[in-house]
Amino acid sequence: MRAIITGIGHYVPDNILTNQELEKMVDTNDEWIVSRTGIKERRILGKDKGTSYMAVKAAEMVLEQTNTAADELDLILVATSTPDMLIPATAAFVQKKLNATNCWGFDINAACCGFVYALATASQFIETGKHNKIMVIGVDKMSAIINYKDRNTCIIFGDGGGAALLESSNEDELGVEDYIFRLDGSGANLLNVQAGGSLFPASHETVDKKMHYIFQDGKKIFKYAVTAMSDVSIKIMEKNRLTGKDIKLLIPHQANLRIIDAVAKKMGLTRDKVMINIEKYGNTTAGTIPIAMSEAYQKNMMSKGDWIIISSFGAGFTSGSLLLKWALD
Ligand code: COA
């Protein structure tokens, strides 16, 4: 049995935060942000809604697109680093809102690799014949953990997410073909949110020290990202005896345009073979890849039988690439 994507959708909030608006909030400027990152604006969900709100919107789009009833779902996987609450899993809120009455579900925290890890996890349940329909969601409300006085982070991240329906198929050639994943815990101190977990539970002290906000060492992450993402992306091509010429589209994690360009170059891909939308949304963490995939689908950038590579890196450090043969017309 093969695991194929039969529907893909996304949701981003309406509210736009532009570089010009950020200029009024921190010591930065549009030229610096665009030249260093490629980002022009990002979306912000607002205080009264959590991550599950966006997850549900994206999943509803996919259910409608594929003419699927929520109670047909066997499993809901939500990849997120910004759950609505620490307990229960965001998947529980999504299950309730969708009224998906015949499924189980859980969250996956692999930061920016969340969606690609979740897709691979879901593919196992399909390939073994255990399940037929799995909703795989990648979504983050990064604005909930951003210090809008920290120019190192507030210019980069945004809110949004996407969802894919993974189904079983008898067509041998289509769907998830292979993946290569890595986890390198030596990077844990370079990109993190320290407080709010069991090591540093919320306290006046953690709030005073701003430990609930995301911290990053941008320079070190940049170098690691280019190396790690290129490595897994090139390896998956070599392992499957493919070259840049065989790949129709790279859907990379949208963290920084310079990282994307460097990875694509090392893979032997020209810009027209790379899905890029970072200028509109910034880095939505687990959301970037399904949002990009959904927009690529809307723009008819993929046809049935095309080789697609998804690749990502994130906090952990996590990194990974997934090769699939596109199954939709
Ligand atoms: N606006 C203006 N200036 C800024 C700035 C901002 N938002 N942020 C930093 N600067 C300043 C720095 O203070 C530094 O000034 P100095 O030379 O006087 O010390 C200068 O700009 C250069 O900073 P530097 O950190 O060297 O810039 P950079 O070219 O490495 O770009 C990032 C910074 C964060 C854009 C880049 O390192 C990056 O994208 N890293 C990866 C981050 C990432 O992807 N995180 C998510 C992982 S999933």
Gap from CA of 99 to ligand 1 centroid (Å): 44
Give the distance (Å) from ligand 1 centre to CA of residue 151.
Answer: 8
Asked about 112 being catalytic, the answer comes back as yes
Strand ranges (E), 84-214: 104-108, 133-141, 159-169, 175-183, 191-192
Kindly report whether the peptide bond that precedes residue 125 is cis, defined as omega within 30 degrees of 0.
no
Give the residue among 88, 91, 75 at the shortest CA–CA distance from 139: 91
What number does the ligand 1 atom closest to the CA of 258 have?
Answer: 39
Q: Which residue has the tokens 């909703």?
A: 135
> Average pLDDT of the chain?
98
Task: Write down the pLDDT at residue 243.
Answer: 96
pTM as predicted: 0.98
- Given the residues 19, 192, 256, 283, the one annotated as active site: 283
Measure the CA–CA gap between 286 and 288, rounded to whole angstroms: 6
pLDDT bin (cut points 50, 70, 90) of residue 104 is very high
What pLDDT is recorded for position 40? 98
* CA of 253, closest atom in ligand 1: 48
Atom 24, ligand 1: which residue's CA is nearest?
A: 219
In the residue annotation, 19 being an active-site residue is answered as no
- CA of 152 from ligand 1 middle (Å) equals 6
Tell me the domain boundaries of the chain: 2-169, 175-325
What band does 298 get if pLDDT is binned at 50, 70 and 90? very high
Report CA(274)–ligand 1 centroid distance (Å): 24
Q: What's the rounded mean pLDDT across residues 290-302?
A: 98
| Residue where the block lists tokens 């809307």 | 298
Q: What residues flank ligand 1, with Cβ below 6 Å?
A: 28, 32, 36-37, 112, 151-152, 155-156, 191, 216, 218-219, 221-222, 225, 255-256, 283, 314
55 phi, psi to nearest 5 deg: -60, -45
Cα(10)–Cα(130) distance, integer angstroms: 27
Tell me the CATH architecture of domain 2-169: 3-Layer(aba) Sandwich (3.40)
Residue 115 one-letter amino acid: F
pLDDT confidence of residue 60: 98
C-alpha to C-alpha distance for 142 and 79, rounded to whole angstroms: 13
Alpha-carbon distance of 242 to 80, in angstroms, equals 31
Ligand 1, atom nearest to 313 Cα: 48
Which of 22, 36, 37 has the most ligand 1 atoms within 8 A of CB, as the residue to mutate? 36
**Which has the closest alpha carbon to 4: 324, 224, 276?**
324
Q: What per-residue confidence (pLDDT) applies to 202?
A: 97
Residue-level pLDDT at 91: 98
85-121: b (≥16 Cβ within 10 Å) or e: eeeebbbbbbbebbebeebebebbbbbbbbbbbbbbb
Atom 21 of ligand 1, nearest CA residue: 32
For residue 172, is pLDDT > 90?
Answer: no
| 115-133 average pLDDT score | 98
User: Which pLDDT belongs to residue 8?
Assistant: 98
Q: How far is residue 250's CA from residue 69's CA, in Å, rounded to a whole number?
A: 31
Find the DSSP H helices in the chain. Answer: 19-23, 30-37, 51-65, 90-98, 114-127, 204-208, 218-239, 257-267, 278-281, 288-298
Condensed to tens digits (0 to 9), the pLDDT of residues 194-216 reads: 999 999 999 999 999 999 999 99
Pick the CATH number of 175-325 from 3.90.1150.10, 3.40.50.1860, 3.30.460.10, 3.40.47.10: 3.40.47.10
Selecting among 10, 19, 112, 256, the annotated active-site residue is 112
Which residue owns the Cα nearest ligand 1 atom 34? Answer: 218
Residue 150 CA, ligand 1 centroid: distance in Å: 11
